[in-house]
Amino acid sequence: MPRAVACPDKFKGTATATEIAAAIAAAAEARGWNCDQVPVADGGEGTLEALGALGGRIRRSQVMGPLGDPVTAEWRLSRELAVVEMARASGLALVGGAEGNDPLAANTYGAGELISAAVDAGATEVIVGVGGSATTDGGLGAVRALEPHRRLRGVDVVVACDVDTRFVDAAESFAPQKGATQAQVYLLRRRLERLAQVYEQDFGVDVRDIAGSGAAGGLAGGLAALGAVLVPGFAVVADALSLAERFEGADLVVTGEGFVDEQSFRGKAVGGVVELAREAGVPVLVVTGEVLEGVDVASRGVECISLVERFGRERAMGDPAGCVRDAVVDALAAS
């Protein structure tokens, strides 16, 4: 019996990675295939869910939200390993998106409180997923929440970055998506420039040229100043889930995300899955809500199905899991 591996990322705003993986598995089984379900993430939202395979249990902590309101945020502790998703404490979704955000005031104090809670609970390794932030504070809020910093001695903090943007460039790259005007982007860039100098003076770390230090509006850089290691988020998830080993002997890998653009193949989950599958010699099917104009997925040697193109935008947005199931059923029938 042929075997598929379903390892999609989330379809942001419409379906979780777990829901999409289940839809792929249902399609595979309807065509007589076995299917392993391994939902993935790239360090952004969904990382906490994807790393549930590490075991442990979900904890909940009340922390400061991005604009100062209290929020209850989930995190995971498995023995001495903790997984924290900064978006649970300092995410843009918590303030209702860009329209509800104050990009100058939004801060990462709550994300720091989550890391602090993990350390207080006995974690000696903390994985921090940093996508989906409301903030461009350079991680200053988190740095303050983690005082006194000597408590981090003996704790390995690993920042799972979903971008490779540098610290100061976070303002232009991401602040407009968080509601910032051009004038505010200028102010935020100046603030990041000054903060980088402060970090270098106080901690002896120049965060400006560290790849990924601009992730989550510079939170990654702030944590790097405290000694954290910044790594590509997909690599963290893939290693934790032994993804390369799961591809061995498979006949097909099916992945996907809400939309495919050029960034999808530069450190994001879809690109990471494609590379691992290529190394294993396994063909890949990418199922996505939409392929953005100008992106040539075929040139990357993979088949890609756009749900918007196949089923229309209304159904693709309203029933993504159902569309994925139907698309994969048809694709397997034609294979």
The number of CA neighbours under 13 Å toward the Cβ of 209 is 1
pLDDT bin (cut points 50, 70, 90) of residue 13 is confident
Q: What ranges make up the beta strands (E) of the chain?
A: 3-6, 34-37, 57-64, 70-78, 81-85, 125-129, 156-161, 229-232, 252-260, 284-291, 303-306
pLDDT, tens digit, 9 for 90 and up, residues 196-211:
999 999 999 999 999 9
Do 197 and 269 sit in the same domain of this protein?
no
pLDDT, tens digit, 9 for 90 and up, residues 109-160:
999 999 999 999 999 999 999 989 999 999 999 999 999 999 999 999 999 9
Among the candidates 188, 214, 234, a domain finishes at 234
Do 211 and 298 sit in the same domain of this protein?
no
Do 17 and 71 sit in the same domain of this protein?
no
pTM flag (> 0.85): yes
Do 212 and 246 sit in the same domain of this protein?
no
Residue 56's alpha-carbon distances to 22, 23, 38, 107, 155, in angstroms, are 22, 26, 18, 29, 18
CATH value at residue 15: 3.40.50.10350
Mean pLDDT of 191-200: 98
Do 112 and 218 sit in the same domain of this protein?
yes
Helix (H, G, I), strand (E, B) or coil at 202: helix
**Cα Rg of the chain (Å, integer):** 20
Cα pseudo-dihedral 99, 103, 104, 106, rounded to 10: 100
pLDDT, tens digit, 9 for 90 and up, residues 156-182:
999 999 889 999 999 999 999 999 999
Q: Give Dmax over CA atoms of the chain in angstroms.
A: 62
Do 145 and 253 sit in the same domain of this protein?
no
Do 112 and 184 sit in the same domain of this protein?
yes
pLDDT of residue 221: 98
Among the candidates 234, 269, 284, a domain finishes at 234
Query: What is the C-alpha to C-alpha distance for residues 218 and 106, in angstroms, rounded to an integer?
Result: 12
pLDDT bin (cut points 50, 70, 90) of residue 268 is confident
Count up the domains in the chain and report the number.
2
Segments forming the whole domain that contains residue 153: 47-234
In DSSP notation, 248-267 reads TT-SEEEEEEEEE-GGGGTT
CATH value at residue 64: 3.90.1510.10
Report the chain's mean pLDDT, rounded to a whole number: 95
pLDDT, tens digit, 9 for 90 and up, residues 209-256:
999 999 999 999 999 999 999 999 999 999 999 999 999 999 999 999
Q: Which residues of 207-233 are buried (b: 16+ CB within 10 A; e: fewer)?
A: bbebbbbbbbbbbbbbbbbbebebbbb
Res. 294: pLDDT tops 80: no
Res. 318: pLDDT tops 80: yes
Do 229 and 325 sit in the same domain of this protein?
no
pLDDT of residue 296: 81
Helix (H, G, I), strand (E, B) or coil at 223: helix
pLDDT of residue 97: 96
Do 169 and 257 sit in the same domain of this protein?
no
Res. 74: pLDDT tops 90: yes
Structure tokens at 31: 């065509």
Query: What is the C-alpha to C-alpha distance for residues 128 and 188, in angstroms, rounded to an integer?
Result: 23
Among the candidates 212, 234, 256, a domain finishes at 234
Query: What is the C-alpha to C-alpha distance for residues 111 and 219, in angstroms, rounded to an integer?
Result: 9
pLDDT bin (cut points 50, 70, 90) of residue 309 is very high
CA distance between the termini of the chain:
14
Do 209 and 290 sit in the same domain of this protein?
no
Res. 329: pLDDT tops 80: yes
DSSP 8-state class, residue 172: H
Characterise 225 by phi-psi region: left (phi > 0), alpha (psi -120 to 50), beta (else). Answer: alpha
Res. 301: pLDDT tops 90: no
pLDDT of residue 212: 95
pLDDT of residue 44: 84
Give me the percent of the chain exceeding a pLDDT of 90: 87
Residues 6+ apart with CB under 8 A from 214: 163, 165, 166, 167, 168, 169, 170, 173, 174, 220, 221
Q: Which residues of 263-279 are buried (b: 16+ CB within 10 A; e: fewer)?
A: bbbebbbbbbbbbbbbe
Structure tokens at 89: 């404490």
Do 277 and 304 sit in the same domain of this protein?
yes
Residues 6+ apart with CB under 8 A from 179: 98, 99, 100, 101, 102, 103
Query: What is the C-alpha to C-alpha distance for residues 9 and 40, in angstroms, rounded to an integer?
Result: 5
pLDDT of residue 264: 83
Do 95 and 181 sit in the same domain of this protein?
yes
pLDDT of residue 106: 98
pLDDT, tens digit, 9 for 90 and up, residues 24-59:
999 999 999 999 999 999 988 889 999 988 889 999
pLDDT bin (cut points 50, 70, 90) of residue 302 is confident
